[in-house]
Amino acid sequence: MTDGGAYTYAMALSSVDGVDLKKTEEELLLVSGVLKNEDIKKYFLYPKISQAEKKEKLKNAFAALVSKTVMNFLYLLIDKNRENHIQQISHAFTQIVDQEYDRVRPHVSLSRNYPEAELQKILTMVEGLVSAKRDAFGISSPAKLEFLPETEVKPEMLGGIYLRLGDYMWDSSISRFLRDWKVKVLSGTIEKDAVISADIAE
């Protein structure tokens, strides 16, 4: 299934009358988390397992945990032979909920682990940057944003911050600075003698 196909299914579910978007998102995450298990995947891919048996398995596993709307949606996926695409559909549904509630998920890469207090200061700085430069990050909504940041440690950055939000990036890492510096030296933008002199002075 393409991302567009997953988005179509997610949009159809989000458009059901009376659907609670956040509750449905949680339920899809629950189901997709269970169904990503490799053994369960193999079961649903096995051609001799009937649709009726698959529905019964899902009913036994999730009927008491999810809404009737989500349960019927799972049955629909089985009818369409799309049950193994629940992870993609769940991801697309989360994107729809993010848009509806002005949630943004900046991915922040750092060169090392920081104490919690310092990390929170960095994330607050990131929130301020994204809020102030919405157009640069593809955000059109003027509403107050809800930030759900994800962080990772990449020692090869050497220092600084690398920020990715969707298709948009902001790179202030030391490794990027060094790459840019090297390009300028090799292209003749910066005189090599000046660079050598600066190194000696240090």
Q: What is the mean pLDDT of residues 80-104?
A: 94
Q: Are residues 117 and 68 in the same domain?
A: no
Q: Out of 83, 100, 117, pick the residue that ends a domain.
A: 100
The token pair at 57 is 């398995």
Q: Are residues 127 and 86 in the same domain?
A: no
Q: Are residues 81 and 10 in the same domain?
A: yes
Quote the percentage of the chain above a pLDDT of 90: 59
Instruction: Name the pLDDT band for 46 (thresholds 50, 70, 90).
Output: confident
* Domain contains 187: no
Q: What is the mean pLDDT of residues 173-200?
A: 55
Q: What is the CA radius of gyration of the chain?
A: 24
Question: Alpha-carbon distance 34 to 87, whole Å?
Answer: 10
Q: What is the mean pLDDT of residues 23-28?
A: 97
Q: Out of 100, 135, 159, pick the residue that ends a domain.
A: 100
Give yes or no for residue 192 having a pLDDT over 90: no
Q: What is the mean pLDDT of residues 70-94?
A: 94
* Domain contains 183: no
Compute how many other C-beta atoms are within 10 angstroms of the C-beta atom of residue 94: 18
Q: What is the pLDDT of residue 167?
A: 83
Q: Are residues 159 and 94 in the same domain?
A: no
Q: Which of 146-155, 157-166, 184-193 has the highest mean pLDDT?
A: 146-155
Q: Helix-strand-coil percent breakdown of the chain, rounded to 5? A: 60, 10, 30
Q: At what angle do helices 21-35 and 68-79 cross, to 10 degrees?
A: 50
* Domain contains 202: no
Q: What is the mean pLDDT of the chain?
A: 86
Q: At what angle do helices 51-62 and 21-35 cross, to 10 degrees?
A: 120
Which residue type sits at 36? K
Q: What is the pLDDT of residue 41?
A: 86
Laid out side by side, the sheet with 107-110 consists of: 150-153, 107-110, 161-165, 168-171
Q: What is the pLDDT of residue 178?
A: 61
DSSP 162: E
Q: What is the mean pLDDT of residues 157-182?
A: 77
Q: Are residues 34 and 121 in the same domain?
A: no
* Domain contains 79: yes
* Domain contains 200: no
* Domain contains 147: yes
How far the first Cα of the chain sits from its last, in Å, is 57
* Domain contains 185: no
Q: Are residues 76 and 110 in the same domain?
A: no
Q: Are residues 85 and 149 in the same domain?
A: no
For residue 73, the domain's CATH number is 1.10.520.20
Domain of 118, in residue numbers:
104-177
Stated pTM of the model: 0.77
**Domains identified in the chain, total number:** 2
